[in-house]
Amino acid sequence: MKDKTNIVLTGVGGQGVITAANILGKAAVNAKANVYASEVHGMAQRGGSVSCTVRMGDVSGSLVATGTADAILSTEPIEALRYIQYANKQTKVITDINPVIPFTVAALGEEYPSLEIVYKEIELHAKLHKINALKIANESGAAITRNIVMLGALAAADILPFKTEILLNTILDNIPAKYKEINKKAFKGGFKAIK
Amino acid sequence: MEIIDELPGKTILLLGNEAITRGAIEAGVDVATTYPGTPSSEIADTFSAMAKYLKKKKEKPPFYFEYSTNEKVALEVAAAASFCGLRALTCMKHVGLNVASDAFMTYLYVGCKGGHIIVSADDPSCHSSQNEQDNRYFALFGSAPMLEPSTPQEAKEMTRLGFELSEELKLPVLLRTTTRLNHARGPIELRQSLKSKGKGHFDKDPMLVTVPAVARAQHPLLLRKMEKAEKISEKSPFNEIIELGKQSNAGIVTSGVSFNYVKEAIDDLNINAKILKLGMTHPIPRKMCENFIKSCKEIVIVEELDPLLENQFKTIIYDMKSNVKIYGKSTGHFSRLYEYNPDIVTEALSKIFKVKNPLQKPIQPKLKLPSRPPALCPGCPHRATYYAVKKAAPKDTIYPTDIGCYTLGKAPPYEVADLLLCMGSNAGTACGLSVSTDQKIISFMGDSTFFHAGIPPIVDAVHHNHDLVITVLDNRTTAMTGHQPHPGTEFDGMGRPAKSIKVEDILKGCGVEHIEIVDPNNIKKTTEAFKRALAFKGPAVVVSKSPCILLENRDKRIAGMDIPVYYIDQEKCRQCKTCIDRFACPAIYYAEDGSIHIDETQCNGCGNCADICPFEAISKKGAKK
C-alpha cells in the first residue's frame, strides 16, 4: 500500500459538509499535496444524507474503498454510523453530538436510535471522538461555523499530511474579512476539543 | 475569482465541471450555451459567475453565454456560432442530449466550422436523474468523435485540445463525462488563455441546407471524416498504454473514471498488468487496439454501464481471428448497472487474476438507522400547493409530475407524483390520461420546465379540449439544479436585464380559457382555486406563484431583513398531528416525551404551519439567529 490519506466527511444537506471538503482539498493543494475529492450535488442536497470524500497523497481517484478511511468527520451522530463501512479499527470517527431528526421519524414512524447505542456501535468498529461542535460554533459567534469546528477537530487528530496552519490559513483565505475572527475561534475551539 | 484571476502556471483546486469551463476559456471560447441539469450544471454556472464577476468589474466578458430554453435550442445557438467560425461549447446532462438529438444527428452531417465541444454529463447510478442511459452510444449513433476524461485535469486539457480536434475534423466533439468526474475536485494547472474572436462571419454555403440531395451527399463525407478521426485517434495523446508492475501478458482496457479504480486496484492487489487507457473513445484507435490484443493472452475490459468497448474489442478480435480471452460484462465479472467504485473493481480484478482481495468486507451497522432521503425544504411553497391540492381533489385523482424539486412530492404524506417520464411529460401524459380514464387529473410542472417542454402539450390539451388540470409551480427559478434563471426571470445568465415572459401570458396565447393564478401560501384560496379548476370542463391551468424559499431568504439576508422563526405553544397544542402527518415540514419534530416542536435551525419562516394548525398553537417567535 502506498502513502494515502482518506477522509470521509458526512452530515446532513445544508450543514456545510461540501464547503468543508472543498476547503480541505484547497489546503492540500496549498500544501503541494496531490488531492482528489468527491461531492454530491443536485437532488441529493435537499436535506438528505450527504457524504463527501477527500483523498490525499498517492491516490488516483476520488472515491474511498470500504475500510480504508483514516477519518470519518460527521456533523451528525447517526450519519457517522451510516458511513461506518469506510472505517477500520484504526479509523478516527469524529462526530458532532447534536442529532438532526429526519422527517421520516415524525412523518413515517421510523425510529431515531438512542445516541448511547449509536456511539457503542461506532466504538465496535473504530475510534470514536465526540465533540459538541454546535456549542463551540455558537460560542464562537455563529452556528454556521460548525463545519469549521469539525475541521479544527480533524486537524488535531494527527491524520492530515500537512501542518495545521496551512488548513487554518486556507479557511481564512476563503471567507470574507468580517467573519475571519469567528472562524478562527471556531477552528481553534474544535482543535482544543480533540487535543 | 481564482478561476480567471490566477496566473498561468499556478495550480488550483477545481471541480471537474469548473475545469471544463477553464479549458474552454483557455481555448478562447466565444459562445457557451446550456440548459441546466445535474451533473452538468456547474460548467454553465461557472460561465455565468464569470460574466457577472467581470460585469461588476466593468470588464467585458470574453464570451457570450446563455441558459437556453432547452437543450435543443442550446445546441442550435452554439452550432450557429460555429458556422460563423467561432468556438462554441454546449453542455447538458445525459438526458438533455435526447432533447437536443434532433439537431445533433443532422449537425454531424453538416459539420462545424469553429471548434464545438458538446458536453454530455452522464449519471451512472441515477444520483440525480430519471435513467442512467449510456450516451457513448450517441457518438456511435451519430458519428461524433468522443473524448472521455478520467480526472479534472484531463477534463480541462481535453476541452482545450478538443476545440482543435473539432476544427481539424470539422465535426463537433462529444466530451462525455460522468458524475464522478463532474463532481470530483482535483488540482488543475492553469495555462495561458487564447483571445476569443467575439464576432465571426456567416459564409453562405448550399451544403448547410440539408434537403435530401444535400443529406445524401453529406453522409459519405461524414464517414470519411470519421476515417480521418480514427487516424487521429491512433496518435492521440489521450490514448496510451501504461505498464504497471513487471512485464505481463495480461491487459486491461479502460476509460473515464474507471481508469482510476483500475490503477489503485492493481497497486492494492499487487498484480502485473498493462493498461490500455482510452481517452479518445470514438473512434477507437483500431491499430493500437490490434497491437495491444496481439501482446496479450487475456484482456479485461473495465467500463461503466454498457459494454461498448467490450463489443468493439470482440469485433476486432473476431476480425483478427485471435483467441485472446476477454473478461468483462459478458463473463459476468462486471455489471451493466450503476457506477463503479474501488470496491467493485478491486473485487472483480481479484477474481479474474485469482489473488486475494485485501479490502475488508463492508461493515453493516446492526442498528437500523432512520432513512434520510432528500425532501422539500422547510418553507418550500410546493408543500403548501400540495397541501391545498390534497384538500381539493377527490381520492382517486392522478398526479402526473415532472423533473424538478417538486418530484419530491412523491413521498408521503403528499403522494402527488404518480407518473414521470421526462421534461414536460406531466402535461403530455395528462392529455393521454384524460382520454383513457374518467379519473380526475392534476399534473405538476415547474416554471423552467414549462418553458423547456411544457408548452406543446398544453397546446395539445387546448386544441383537443382535454378535461384536465395542469399546475405550473412557478417559484421564479430553476431551483433543483442550483437556481439558474429561465425565460420567466428578470435577468439572464450573464446578469443582464432580460425580458421576463409571464407563464399566464403564454397560457392565454395558447387559448387556455380557465387560468387560476394563486399564491400557495394562502392555502385556503389555493384550495378553492383547485376546486374551481377541477369543476371546469376542459383544460384548466393553475399557476401557483411563490419564490423558492431559499432564494427569498437569501435576498432577505442580503437586504439585512429578518427571517422569522415559528414555535409551538405547548399549552395550546393538542397533538392532533396535522402539522406532522399532513403538512410534514421537516423542521417539525417530536420530542422524546411526544410533544411537538419546531427546530429553529431548520425553520425557514414561511408560517404555513401556523395557518394549517386547527388550534392556533403555532405563532411567530422573532428572527432567526
- pLDDT tens, position by position, B343-382: 999 999 999 999 999 998 888 889 999 999 888 999 999 9
Q: Report phi then psi at A23, rounded to 5.
A: -65, -40
pLDDT at B605: 96
When pLDDT is cut at 50, 70 and 90, the band that residue B275 belongs to is: very high
C-alpha cell at B441: 387529473
Residue corresponding to grid cell 502485473: B272
Q: How far apart are CA A7 and CA A171, in angstroms?
A: 17
When pLDDT is cut at 50, 70 and 90, the band that residue A46 belongs to is: low
Whichever domain contains A160, its CATH number is 3.40.920.10
pLDDT at A1: 45
C-beta atoms of A65 and B342 within 8 A: yes
- For β-strands A35-38 and B184-189, DSSP reports them as antiparallel
pLDDT digits (tens, 9 = 90+) for B5-31: 999 999 999 999 999 999 999 999 999
pLDDT digits (tens, 9 = 90+) for A136-172: 999 999 999 999 999 999 999 999 999 999 999 999 9
Q: Is it the case that residue A44 has pLDDT exceeding 60? A: no
Residue range of the domain that includes A25: 4-194
Q: How far apart are CA B549 and CA B383, in angstroms?
A: 11
Residue A65 has its nearest CB partner, among B259, B359, B412, at B359
pLDDT at A43: 61
Residues of B in contact with A81 (CB under 8 A): 365, 367, 369
C-beta atoms of A62 and B360 within 8 A: no
pLDDT at A2: 57
Q: What is the mean pLDDT of residues B427-449?
A: 98
State how far residue B581 is from chain A, nearest Cα, in angstroms: 5
Flag whether residue B270 sits within 8 Å of chain A, measured between CB atoms.
no
Cβ-based neighbours of B298, under 8 Å, separated by 6 or more: B249, B250, B251, B324, B325, B326, B327, B352
Q: Is it the case that residue B209 has pLDDT exceeding 50? A: yes
- Those of residues 7-46 in A touching chain B at CB distance below 8 A are 12-13, 21-22, 25-26, 28-29, 34-46
Query: What proportion of chain B, given as a percentage, has pLDDT over 90?
Result: 95
- Percentage helix, strand, coil for chain A under 3-state DSSP, each rounded to 5: 50, 20, 35
Q: How far apart are CA B149 and CA B418, in angstroms?
A: 38
Flag whether residue B558 sits within 8 Å of chain A, measured between CB atoms.
no
Type of residue found at B410 = K
Query: What proportion of chain A, given as a percentage, has pLDDT over 90?
Result: 82
pLDDT at B277: 98
State how far residue A161 is from chain B, nearest Cα, in angstroms: 16
Residue of B5, B13, B43 to mutate, interface with A, max A Cβ within 10 Å: B13
C-beta atoms of B42 and A41 within 8 A: yes
Q: What is the mean pLDDT of residues B132-151?
A: 98
- For β-strands B618-623 and B564-568, DSSP reports them as antiparallel
Residues of A in contact with B625 (CB under 8 A): 143
What is the set of domains in chain B, with CATH numbers?
Answer: 2-235 (3.40.50.970), 240-352 (3.40.50.920), 381-554 (3.40.50.970), 562-623 (3.30.70.20)
pLDDT at A42: 61
pLDDT digits (tens, 9 = 90+) for B144-172: 999 999 999 999 999 999 999 999 999 99
Length of chain A (residues): 195
C-beta atoms of A39 and B15 within 8 A: yes
Residues of B in contact with A25 (CB under 8 A): 13, 185
C-beta atoms of B341 and A63 within 8 A: yes
State how far residue B185 is from chain A, nearest Cα, in angstroms: 5
Search chain B and give the residue with CA nearest A118: B367
pLDDT at B440: 98
Q: How far is CA B1 from CA B43, B47, B52, B116, B209, in A?
A: 15, 12, 11, 26, 43
Q: Are B604 and B551 in contact (CB under 8 A)?
A: no
State how far residue A78 is from chain B, nearest Cα, in angstroms: 7
Q: How far apart are CA B320 and CA B356, in angstroms?
A: 34
State how far residue A69 is from chain B, nearest Cα, in angstroms: 12
pLDDT digits (tens, 9 = 90+) for A72-85: 999 999 999 999 99
pLDDT digits (tens, 9 = 90+) for B186-206: 999 999 999 999 999 999 999
Helix (H) or strand (E) holding B255: strand B250-255
Pick B625 or B593 by higher pLDDT.
Answer: B593
Residue of A19, A43, A64 to mutate, interface with B, max B Cβ within 10 Å: A43
Cα-trace Rg, chain B? 27
Q: Are B284 and B229 in contact (CB under 8 A)?
A: no
Search chain A and give the residue with CA nearest B364: A85
Q: What is the mean pLDDT of residues B304-313?
A: 98
- β-partners of residue B12 are B188
Flag whether residue B332 sits within 8 Å of chain A, measured between CB atoms.
no
Pick A101 or B518 by higher pLDDT.
Answer: B518
C-beta atoms of B263 and A60 within 8 A: yes
Q: How far apart are CA B318 and CA B188, in angstroms?
A: 41
Tally of CA atoms within 13 A in the half-sphere of B159 that contains its CB? 33
pLDDT at A45: 60
C-alpha cell at B475: 417559484
Q: What average pLDDT is seen over chain B?
A: 97
C-alpha cell at A128: 470514536
Cβ-based neighbours of B292, under 8 Å, separated by 6 or more: B241, B251, B253, B274, B276, B299
- Specify the number of domains making up chain A: 1
Q: Report phi then psi at B63, rounded to 5.
A: -145, 160
Pick A107 or A64 by higher pLDDT.
Answer: A64
Q: What is the mean pLDDT of residues B50-58?
A: 98
**Whether the model pTM is above 0.95:** yes
Residues of A in contact with B127 (CB under 8 A): 40, 42-44
Cβ of B4: how many Cβ atoms within 10 Å? 18
pLDDT at B236: 98
ipTM of the complex: 0.96
Residue B588 has its nearest CB partner, among A45, A60, A106, at A106
Q: Are B222 and B108 in contact (CB under 8 A)?
A: yes
Query: What proportion of chain A, given as a percentage, has pLDDT over 70?
Result: 96
When pLDDT is cut at 50, 70 and 90, the band that residue A47 belongs to is: confident
